[in-house]
Amino acid sequence: MTLHDVVLQQIINGLSLGAMYSLLALGFTMVYGIIELINFAHFNIFMVGSFIAMFALQFLGLHGQSRLLTGWPLVGALSLGFASTMLASGLLGVAIERIALRPMRNVRGTAAMITTIGVSYILFNIILLTMGAGAQNYPNPLPQVSWHIGGAVLRLREVLLWSVSLILMGVLHIFVQRTKMGKAMRATAQDQEAARMMGIEVDQIVMLTFFIGSALAGAAGLIFGLYYNNTSFLIGYTAGLRAFTAAVLGGIGNIVGAMMGGLIIGLIEALGGQVLQVRWTDVIIFSILIGVLALRPTGLLGLSTPKKS
Amino acid sequence: MRLGKTLIPRQARWVALSLGLILTLVGLSAVPGTRAAQKVLYVGITLPLTGADAEDAELIKDGAVLAIEEANAKGGVAGYKIDTIILDSGTATAGQYDPAQAATNTKKLVANIGVVANIGPQMSGEGKAMSAILSEADMATITPSSTNPDITDPKFKDKYRPQGKAVYFRTVTTDAYQGPNMANYFAENLKVRTVYVLDDSGAYGVGIANSFQKRAEEKGVKVLGRDQLNPKEADYTTILTKIKGLNPDALYYGGVEQAGTKLAKQAYDVIPKMIKGGGDGVYSSSLLKGAGFPAVEGWYSTIASPHLNESAELQGWVNRFAKRFGKQPGDYSITAYDAALVVLDAVKRAAAAGKVDRHTVRNAIQNSKVKTLQGTVSFDENGDIKDRTVSVFQILHNPKFPEDDIIHQYKYIGVAPQN
| 3-class SS letters over B341-389 | HHHHHHHHHHHHCCCCCHHHHHHHHHCCCEEECCEEECECCCCCECCCC
Strand B410-415 with B391-395, pairing: antiparallel
Dist CA B253 CA B281 (whole Å): 9
Query: 10 Å Cβ neighbour count for B196?
Result: 24
Q: Do the chains contact at B238 and A270, CB–CB below 8 Å? A: yes
Q: What is the mean pLDDT of chain A?
A: 86
Residue A277: which CATH number? 1.10.3470
Contacts of B232 in chain A (CB under 8 A): 234, 237-238
Architecture of domain B37-174+311-377: 3-Layer(aba) Sandwich (3.40)
Contacts of B265 in chain A (CB under 8 A): 135, 228-230
User: What's the half-sphere exposure (Cβ side, CA atoms, 13 Å) at B346?
Assistant: 31
Q: Decide: helix, strand or coil at residue A36.
A: coil
The distance of A278 to chain B (nearest Cα, Å) reads 6
Domain B176-303+391-415 homologous superfamily, CATH: Response regulator (3.40.50.2300)
Q: Do the chains contact at B239 and A128, CB–CB below 8 Å? A: no
Q: Do the chains contact at A278 and B228, CB–CB below 8 Å? A: yes
Give pLDDT tens digits along chain B (419 positions).
444 444 556 666 666 666 666 656 555 554 444 444 447 999 999 999 987 788 889 999 999 999 999 999 988 898 899 999 999 998 877 778 899 999 999 999 999 989 999 998 999 899 999 999 999 999 999 999 998 889 999 999 999 999 989 999 999 888 888 999 999 999 999 999 999 999 998 888 998 999 999 999 999 999 999 999 988 888 898 899 999 989 999 999 999 888 899 999 899 988 999 999 999 889 988 888 888 888 899 999 998 888 876 677 788 888 899 999 998 888 889 999 999 999 999 999 999 988 899 999 999 999 989 988 888 899 998 999 988 888 899 999 988 888 888 878 888 888 888 87
Signed CA dihedral, B49, B52, B58, B59: sign only? negative
Reported as a single tens digit per residue, the pLDDT across A274-305 is 888 878 888 888 888 888 888 888 778 875 44
CB B235 within 8 A of CB A17: yes
Would you mind telling me the total number of residues written for chain A in this entry? Answer: 309
pLDDT of residue B1: 45
CB B143 within 8 A of CB B171: yes
Of B318, B324, B361, B314, which is closest to residue B138 (Cα–Cα)?
Answer: B361
CB B175 within 8 A of CB B209: no
Is residue A254 domain-resident? yes
Contacts of B242 in chain A (CB under 8 A): 6, 10, 273-274, 278
Query: 10 Å Cβ neighbour count for A188?
Result: 26
Dist CA A251 CA B245 (whole Å): 35
Dist CA B265 CA B400 (whole Å): 23
Is residue A248 domain-resident? yes
Q: Decide: helix, strand or coil at residue A203.
A: helix
Number of domains in chain A: 1
Q: Do the chains contact at B234 and A228, CB–CB below 8 Å? A: yes
CB A88 within 8 A of CB A222: no
Is residue A309 domain-resident? no
CB B115 within 8 A of CB B85: yes
Is residue A150 domain-resident? yes
Of A142, A170, A156, A173, which is closest to residue A70 (Cα–Cα)?
Answer: A142
Size of interface A-B (CB pairs under 8 A): 119
Q: Which residue segment(s) compose the domain that A56 sits in?
A: 3-304
CB B411 within 8 A of CB B394: yes
Domains B37-174+311-377 and B176-303+391-415 share a fold: yes
Q: Do the chains contact at A137 and B290, CB–CB below 8 Å? A: yes
Residues 6+ apart with CB under 8 A from B109: B44, B46, B85, B87, B115, B118, B139
Q: Do the chains contact at B290 and A282, CB–CB below 8 Å? A: no
What are phi and psi for residue B370, nearest 5 degrees?
-105, 135
Would you mind telling me the total number of residues written for chain B in this entry? Answer: 419
Query: What does the domain layout of chain B look like in residue ranges?
Result: 37-174+311-377, 176-303+391-415
pLDDT of residue A288: 85
CB A261 within 8 A of CB A22: yes
Contacts of B92 in chain A (CB under 8 A): 124-125, 128
